[in-house]
Amino acid sequence: MTDEERSEPLTILVVDDEPAMVGVMGALLGRAGHHIVAAYDGDEALRRFEADSPDLVLLDLSMPGRDGAEVCRAIRAQSATPIIVVTGERDGASLVDLLDLGADDYVSKPFRSDELLARIRAVTRRASGGSVGSGGSGGSRVDEWQLDLRRHEIRWRGDVVEATIIEFRLLRVLIERLGEVVPHADLLAAGWPGVPDPDPLWLKPHLARLRDKLGHAGAAKPSAVRAVGYRLDPRS
């Protein structure tokens, strides 16, 4: 593995009811320098998430008892920790539902080692384009928004807007181009850097969740421009 391909060491929670699959992913991630925490069902996954505070979750979709969707929902209710669904599911609607619940990305089984590692790097890379732990730049103000790239925070009138990594990336580009229509292609490139061909269907659920959070915060919300993109207007 080249230095360019190697990311900062992470603690990764691997959740799959097949021990062989956990072993495969554990060996791959271990060789990449990451620390692995294993869970074999949904209840154990939530216990390990609470106990070990992982940097990222690799989550199987189909498990006995509490399934991947329930685990994703429970984690997202309390944390913005990145979640990648690793699944054999081929139903596009089901995968969109997972993104709607807050998953950051998905990888289909069987997967290539380099693809999984690339997805991990993509979802953990800070919106500034640096790697996890790289520090990044300080901050900037646009209208009533404040961007803090080092702390990975966006504030509206001084109050932090709680956002997942992808929501942060989408909101950042909308703020930096305040008042402009940001095309779908630009939003996809900002939200999923390093993914060669991100699915346009990924945008809608993430922006819907972001609009809800901005609404609760009393902040300006992006509006859709049909068949073109989204625009965030200055708040008068």
DSSP 12-23: EEEE-S-HHHHH
One domain, residues 19 and 116:
yes
List the structure tokens of 105.
């990305």
CA distance 95 to 112: 19
Q: Model's pTM, two decimal places?
A: 0.58
The sign of the torsion formed by the CA atoms of 168, 169, 170, 176 equals positive
How many folded domains does the chain comprise? 2
**177 lies in which domain range?**
139-231
Query: Which CATH number belongs to the domain containing residue 54 in this structure?
Result: 3.40.50.2300
Residue 4 located in a structural domain? no
pLDDT tens sequence across 129-180:
333 333 334 456 778 898 876 667 788 988 888 888 888 889 989 998 889 9
One domain, residues 173 and 206:
yes
> What pLDDT does residue 140 have?
64
pLDDT tens sequence across 55-102:
899 999 888 888 888 999 888 877 778 899 988 766 655 667 777 777
Closest by CA to 36, choosing from 120, 123, 21, 27, is 27
pLDDT tens sequence across 5-16:
445 789 999 999
